[in-house]
Amino acid sequence: MSGFVSFVGSGPGDPELLTVKAVKRLKEADAVLFDDLSAGPILDHVRPGAELVAVGKRAGRPSPKQDHVSRLLVDYAQTGARVVRLKSGDPGIFGRLEEEITALREAGVGFEIVPGVTSAAAAAAAAGIPLTRRLEARRVQFVTGHDVTGGLPEGLNLAALADPAATTVVFMPKRTFAALAALLTRSGLPAETPALLAENVSHPDQRLTRSTVGALAADLGAQDSRAPGLILYGPLASDS
C-alpha cells in the first residue's frame, strides 16, 4: 500500500501568495511535513484531523537531519497517506528537494512538485523593483550563501557573481556575506554596487534595507540578526 507525496511551495510566508493548487493539496492532505518558514497562518488551510509534523531546519538551532526527513516522507506514504511536504518559497530552490525525491523513487513512492513563489521574486516585488532590465540587467543568478556546514560554499564562480550587469540573489547570506563581499570586490565588483537586504519577506515585520555591497558586509559583520533574509545586489537594487 503506497500513498502519494506532493512537494508544495508555500511561498515566502504570506498565505495570500499560495497558489490555488497549493491550497487544494493542503486541504486534501492526511499528513503535512512543514518547514519552519511555512508555519503560521499557512497551516490554517490544512483540514481538521490531518497530522502536522514540523521538520524545519534553521541555522543555529536543533533541527531534524535530512535523512530523517526523507525517511518520514517514505514512512507516511507507505501507510497509504496523501502527504504534503510543505517547503518555503519554491521547493526546487535551495530546498534539498532532490534528496527527498531520491528517497521516494528508491521506495517506489509517487510524487508531484507544486511550485511556489520564490522569496527572491517576493523581495523584488516588495522593494518595487524588477529583477531584470533590458540592456542593464539581462541576467539573474541565484546562489546560496552557505553550504551544509554553514560556511561559505567552495568553488563559487566569482567571475559570474562579480558581473556588474547581472542581478544576483544570495539566499541564506547573513552569516557569510562579509566573506563573500571580500571575494567579490577582489574579483572586480565595486564595493559601491547597490545591494538590498530583505528580511522576513511578505510578513508583517518585513524589513528592507537598501545599501551597498561594501556597507552591507560591514553592517552584517557587526550584528547577529536571526531573521531569515536574502540579499539582492546589482544595478537595480538601488531603484525605489
Structural domains of the chain in order of their starting residue, each with its CATH number:
4-114 (3.40.1010.10), 119-233 (3.30.950.10)
Which one, of 219, 208, 230, 228, lies nearest residue 60 by Cα? 228
Exactly one of 35, 87, 90, 163 is catalytic; name it. 35
Helix axes 213-221, 177-186, angle to 10 degrees: 150
pLDDT at 38 over 90: no
**Strands 166-171 and 139-144, how do they pair?**
parallel
Confidence of residue 7 (pLDDT cuts 50, 70, 90): very high
- pLDDT of 37 reads 84
Q: Write down the mean pLDDT value for the chain.
A: 92
Stretch 146-167: mean pLDDT, rounded?
92
Distance spanning both ends of the chain, measured CA to CA: 55
pLDDT at 224 over 70: no
- pLDDT of 57 reads 66
Are residues 235 and 136 in contact, defined by beta-carbon separation less than 8 angstroms?
yes
pLDDT for 159-182, tens place per residue? 999 999 999 999 999 999 999 999
- pLDDT of 61 reads 54
Are residues 25 and 19 in contact, defined by beta-carbon separation less than 8 angstroms?
no
Catalytic: 35?
A: yes
Catalytic: 57?
A: yes
pLDDT at 240 over 80: no
- pLDDT of 63 reads 66
Distance CA 19, CA 17 (A): 6
- pLDDT of 58 reads 58
Ramachandran region of residue 40, left (φ > 0), alpha (ψ -120 to 50) or beta? Answer: left
- pLDDT of 113 reads 98
pLDDT for 80-123, tens place per residue? 999 999 999 999 999 899 999 999 999 999 999 999 999 999 99
Ramachandran region of residue 236, left (φ > 0), alpha (ψ -120 to 50) or beta? Answer: alpha
99 C-beta neighbours (distance < 10 Å), count: 12
Confidence of residue 59 (pLDDT cuts 50, 70, 90): low
Distance CA 115, CA 9 (A): 5
Are residues 73 and 100 in contact, defined by beta-carbon separation less than 8 angstroms?
yes
Exactly one of 21, 24, 36, 57 is catalytic; name it. 57
- pLDDT of 221 reads 73
pLDDT at 206 over 60: yes
The three cell numbers locating residue 175:
552569516
pLDDT at 62 over 60: no
- pLDDT of 127 reads 95
